[in-house]
Amino acid sequence: MDMTEALVLAAVIGAALLSLLVALRNRYKLCVQAHLLLDDLVLTPVPGRQVSLVGHHNGVDVSGIVPAADILYKIESHPLELSVHSHADGPLAAKVTDWDAPHFTVQLFRGDEEIWRRDVLRNEALRIRDNIENLRKWAGSRRTGDKTIHDLDLLHI
């Protein structure tokens, strides 16, 4: 084997190793981003396209291992309402100072059974949606049955 063949072989092996390292790094990042910790519920990916649930909802234990495709979410946005705070400066001194919060209701389902529900702000709704999508990517399951109502409200600031 001459010098040129040795360099080509070394370059091919180096490129293969680099590709493998990038793939492992991306898989690790996806695994880390796939864990979802909520108030009363923890979702964690497990091998075999499944999700481990630990928690309770309305006093009922919802713990167990289920297929990742069975975990669904529903995000609803509510109309924004102004909060008017009046001051002691007279009738014309009422000022609109902020929007009422929270603006979104997020529900998680295991099949048809509701396993978690909260009213949250926009950033929390986005975080939950992204984590569920990462959980599905990690498990290799496809997206089905989710509902995001008024998604434009969720995407725009």
In this structure, what token pair is assigned to residue 28? 């690790």
Whether the Cβ atoms of residue 43 and residue 35 lie closer than 8 Å to each other: yes
Statement to judge: residues 20 and 97 lie in one domain: no
Write the DSSP symbol of residue 79. Answer: -
35: helix, strand or coil: coil
Statement to judge: residues 62 and 103 lie in one domain: yes
Range of the domain at 78: 34-155
The count of domains in the chain is: 2
Handedness of CA 31, 141, 120, 124 (dihedral sign): positive
pLDDT of 110: 87
Statement to judge: residues 77 and 139 lie in one domain: yes
Distance, in Å, from the CA atom of 58 to the CA atom of 52, rounded to the nearest integer, reads: 19
CB atoms < 10 A from the CB of 129, how many?
18
Q: Indicate the pairing of strand 41-46 with strand 36-37.
A: antiparallel
Distance, in Å, from the CA atom of 108 to the CA atom of 70, rounded to the nearest integer, reads: 10
Statement to judge: residues 60 and 93 lie in one domain: yes
CB atoms < 10 A from the CB of 72, how many?
19
pLDDT in tens, the chain (157 residues): 688 898 999 999 999 999 999 888 877 776 666 677 787 888 888 878 888 898 888 888 889 998 888 888 888 887 665 555 555 455 544 444 445 456 788 888 888 888 999 888 888 888 888 888 888 877 777 666 566 554 444 444 3
The DSSP code sequence of 85-135 is E--TT-GGG-EEEEE-S--EEEEEEETTEEEEEEEE-HHHHHHHHHHHHHH
Q: Indicate the pairing of strand 71-77 with strand 147-149.
A: parallel
Statement to judge: residues 25 and 48 lie in one domain: no
